Structure 1
Amino acid sequence: MIERMSAKIANKINHYDSSSDVEVMEYALKILLNLFSVVLICFIVGIITNQLKEIFLAFFSFALLRAFSGGFHFKSLVVCSIISSCVFIFISFISINLMVTQLLNIVSLFIVWFRAPVNVHINTQIPRQILRYFKFVSIIIVAINLFVGSSIFALSYMIQALSLLTKRL
């Protein structure tokens, strides 16, 4: 659905501006529409459930770590949107104590230490010499939560860290 919508919009734009690269536009639109759908679903559910702050804390903490650590990608953007939204919503309702939070932080830290970054070079044009710093940034992001102690961050980081261990579905 997102893929078809992106192709339609890109072709419409190209109809009016033939100098544009349809494939590049389609790719950018896929990313934007996927992001928009996740934000929209999370916003609606957050308003209805009064969990807006918690859902978006899960979303942003996950996205921040993912930007530097990379990880698993679904083949379908619709599946990605639905699963991602469900994960952020689910995280917002989970209550864990500080000991479990710290345990999740430590496990996430080890996974990130040994696995990050994964596939970051595929979707970006970041030079390889800069990519080597992404592991360090990923470790710092997770390590900060050892002091902050946010259960939402710990759960988000754990799920993102687990995505470093899987292949594409």
Structure 2
Amino acid sequence: MVDPIEALAYKVAVKVKQCNPDITAHVEDIRYGAAYYINYYSVIIVTLILGFLTGELLWTGISLISFGILRKYSGGFHLRSLTGCAVVTIILLSVIPHIKISGSWNIQALNLASLLLIVLYVENNTNKYMGVMLVMTNVLFASSTVALTFFVQALTIIRLNRGGEHR
């Protein structure tokens, strides 16, 4: 079955090449870039729309930013399809702001779990330090949304060798 984001990206790439035949990039190279941007912006736009519709726009935005920044430094599991990745990410980042964790001990326990996962599974030392510093900021702020977002992202760095891809 063809991934819908990949199919749309291919159509965009073909159209770009038709509109400007002087472009030296191959359709496949344009498709790769288009797929990345379609996936990236669809997650942001749909998640923010859902946050607005559910009255949690601010915390949804914070969850998006927290997830994205930590993922930049920690990497993590990638699903096999871009559409699957977008759907799972949208669901997670739309639900997390609605989960309120009570008690600072519970929030700090999530922060500690995230720290441990980062220390254990992030291989690049610079990225590991950046990930640790990011999570440590939430030790000070004690946001339940950020703690849960960091924890969910940290779970994606565990290597289980189930056919997915890590980056």
TM-score tier, shorter chain, comes to 0.7 to 0.9
| Corresponding residue for residue 93 of structure 2 | 88
Whole-Å separation in 1 of the counterparts to 2:92 and 2:148: 10
| Corresponding residue for residue 112 of structure 1 | 118
Q: Any gaps of 5 or more consecutive residues in structure 1?
A: 118-130
Q: One-letter code of the match for 1:52? A: L
Q: One-letter code of the match for 1:91? A: I
| Corresponding residue for residue 83 of structure 2 | 78
Match of 1:56 among 57, 61, 64: 61
Q: One-letter code of the match for 2:138? A: N
Whole-Å separation in 2 of the counterparts to 1:144 and 1:94: 20
Bigger drift between 102-111 and 21-30 goes to 21-30
| Corresponding residue for residue 141 of structure 2 | 148
Q: One-letter code of the match for 1:43? A: L
Q: Any gaps of 5 or more consecutive residues in structure 2?
A: none
Structure-1-length-normalised TM-score: 0.86
| Corresponding residue for residue 100 of structure 1 | 106
Whole-Å separation in 1 of the counterparts to 2:52 and 2:140: 30
Whole-Å separation in 2 of the counterparts to 1:62 and 1:38: 12
- Structure 1 counterpart SS, 2:148: helix
Q: CA deviation at 1:22?
A: 2.4
1:67 matched to 2:67? The reply is: no
Q: Hey, which bits of structure 1, 4+ residues long, moved more than 4 A?
A: none
1:38 matched to 2:43? The reply is: yes
Q: One-letter code of the match for 2:147? A: A
Match of 2:153 among 136, 160, 163: 160
Cα deviation code 1:89-137 (max 9, x no counterpart):
11010011211110000010010011014xxxxxxxxxxxxx5411111
Cα deviation code 1:31-65 (max 9, x no counterpart):
11011211221122122111111111111100000
| Corresponding residue for residue 28 of structure 1 | 33
Q: Pairwise CA RMSD of aligned residues? A: 1.5
